[in-house]
Amino acid sequence: MSIFVIKIIACITMVFDHVKYAIPSLENFITLYFGRIAFPLFAFCAVEGYVHTKDLNKYIKRLFIAGIISQIPFMLFISIFSNEILTLNIMFTLLLGILSLKYYDMTKNKIAQILGVIGIGFLGEYLNVDYGFFGVFLVFVLYFFRDNKIKKFLAFVILVFVHYIVMCKTIDIFIEYKYWKSAIFTSIPIFIMLLYNGQLGKKVQKFYYWFYPVHLMILYLIGIL
């Protein structure tokens, strides 16, 4: 499975995740849970972009510009269903994730490496990026265990379940309110990642960056109508 196919899956499941907010009548099992597949796949693609890019600074700049462009559509979209619109969109989450990788690779001291990555994760929480600490740290985990499929599988699943349990504060709420279903579907992407064949596939870089803000704007317009 190429990066192109993984990006298509990520985009489709992201629409599943978002459409229920614009059209509440479409809230169902698919839109509630299949949408959980999207972000980990975007995180995986960001890691592969970091590994294979010929110009890291240009890659970081591209993510930053994409974040700036996407912010207004993102805030408008959030305004449909929430008053908490002062959240930074997923491009900034991925940007901080990539910066954590750059910091990790540039730093030789092991303790400084871990503390720095955790610090960048908490920075994401402080800046209120989408998915917060979990989103930033997930990018690092996918990179750190990139060459060991078993360790990557275990680390990914553990991180996902810990994230949802922390969100719920107690295991009872985690079970009672069926957050375990969200955790299971958020874990599904690891199987897609393991099918990655190392190939880029079709080059859809511009589509990938523009699809995010454009689909948010379309859903916002549908929502207000």
Contact 190, 153 (CB under 8 A): yes
Phi, then psi, of 46 in degrees rounded to 5:
-65, -40
Residue 105: the pLDDT is 95
Of the candidates 16, 11, 102, 14, the one whose C-alpha atom is nearest the C-alpha of residue 53 is 102
What is the residue type of 145?
A: F
Q: For position 205, what pLDDT does the model report?
A: 67
- Determine if residue 131 is left, alpha or beta; phi over 0 gives left, psi from -120 to 50 gives alpha, anything else beta: left
State pTM to two decimals. Answer: 0.92
Listed in sequence order, the DSSP H helices in 53-204 are 56-78, 90-106, 110-126, 132-144, 149-168, 171-176, 179-187, 189-194
Average pLDDT per block of 10 residues along the chain, 225 residues long: 92 94 89 92 96 93 96 93 85 97 94 94 94 96 94 95 85 77 92 90 76 94 88
- Rounded CA separation 94/46 (Å): 7
Q: In this predicted structure, what is the pLDDT of residue 96?
A: 97
Please state, in angstroms and as integers, the Cα–Cα distance from residue 13 to each residue in 16, 218, 224, following that order: 5, 16, 22
Predicted pLDDT of residue 212:
94
d(CA 174, CA 183) in angstroms, rounded, equals: 9
